Amino acid sequence: MNQILRFKKEDLVNFVEKYLSKLGASAEDAKIISNVFISADLRGVESHGLQRLVAYYSTKQFFNPTIPAKIISESPTTALIDGQKGSGQVNSYYAMNLCIKKAKEFGMASVTVKNSNHFGIAGYYSMMALEHNMIGICMTNSQSWIVPTYGKKSVLGTNPISVAVPSLHEYPYVLDMATSAVSYGKVEIAKKKNVEIPNGWAIDENGNTTENPNDIVPRKKGALLPLGGTEITSGYKGYGLAMLVEILCSALSGGIFFSQIGAPNSSESAGVSHFFMAMNVDSFRPILDFKTQMDAMIQDIKNTPKAGNNETIFIAGEKEFELEKFNLENGIPLIKPVYEEMIADGKRLGVSFDLKPINN
């Protein structure tokens, strides 16, 4: 069993900001990156949280923390941004804010980003639209980790999609899903915990389904399956969605795609591309009417008769909002391999991980 320690959010933010500053990030950018990382652990998405800090940021070779993104082309409702090998979190934060600004004036806006890097959880950026009474949409491509249906070599990325929709009294609807059966980060967590993965997540180098996480090494052996798994369980649907994300992210921006994309911790920029959209609800109908209907739709779903011994039907994002509340009160959980990595690499950079665990 891996020991789990819990830490205060502000303590982790402070450490990560100092860590990133040592790598050359500005104070403003370090705050953005740390908030995105830690929001993942807060919401229970540990695959995209601080377990990736050292893995992706222990060297600044793959991203340039000093050159800002630049707008290549722009219209009242669109923009194309060159991320210039900078932080994916910073590029995405800037792009989504630009979407929101344009949508406030023109009702809807879309922004694409190319030449960027790993950006954390997609839901962070779609949810940025919620406080502006907008619907937020976010997608990104990634390095090749999943096979197309009938294939045995990884071609497509996990290519997540996130949509955030405001409501009145209920939790907002927040869909945040990979188009693969699972994100590779969950396989990484299984390796660190030394546990098996569920059947249907991945295949080995021979194209057979596997429960051993060590059978999957990106670009070397094995691969993740698309959402739905194999053909018999409709994996072609996830494959189709992954291709759609690739089109909106890389084809629309002119960014690189498929196996051209580098690993986030390689010596070169990953070169991933992102897509963002904001929809101003007030441009369609009064926001109060919309939110009231969203509540009614959510309540109808939740009041559906339950199967078996299940007591609750959850709406997308509901579990994560509940976990966020719990973890803010009780501390953000980190497994032993993750905080040991942070201690060791912090020492290398001269940043002491002298955080006091809440439950120790």
Domain spans, the chain: 1-58+334-360, 59-285
Residue 242, burial from CB neighbour count under 10 angstroms (0-12, 13-18, 19+): buried
Taking all residues of the chain, what is their mean pLDDT, rounded to a whole number? 92
**Which residues of the chain have a pLDDT value below 70?**
1-2, 59-63, 263-269, 359-360
* The two domains 1-58+334-360 and 59-285 share their CATH topology (first three levels equal): no
Q: What is the pLDDT of residue 17?
A: 95
CATH number of 59-285: 3.30.1370.60
Q: What is the pLDDT of residue 264?
A: 60
CATH architecture assignment, domain 1-58+334-360: Orthogonal Bundle (1.10)
Q: At what angle do helices 9-22 and 336-349 cross, to 10 degrees?
A: 40
Q: What is the pLDDT of residue 61?
A: 59
pTM of the prediction? 0.92
Q: What is the pLDDT of residue 267?
A: 52
First to last CA, the chain: 17
CB 204 within 8 A of CB 150: no
354: CB partners within 8 A, 6+ apart: none
Q: What are phi and psi of 346, to 5 degrees?
A: -60, -40
Pairing assessment for the beta strands 108-116 and 78-82 based on DSSP bridges: parallel
Q: What is the pLDDT of residue 51?
A: 87
Radius of gyration of the CA atoms of the chain, in A? 20
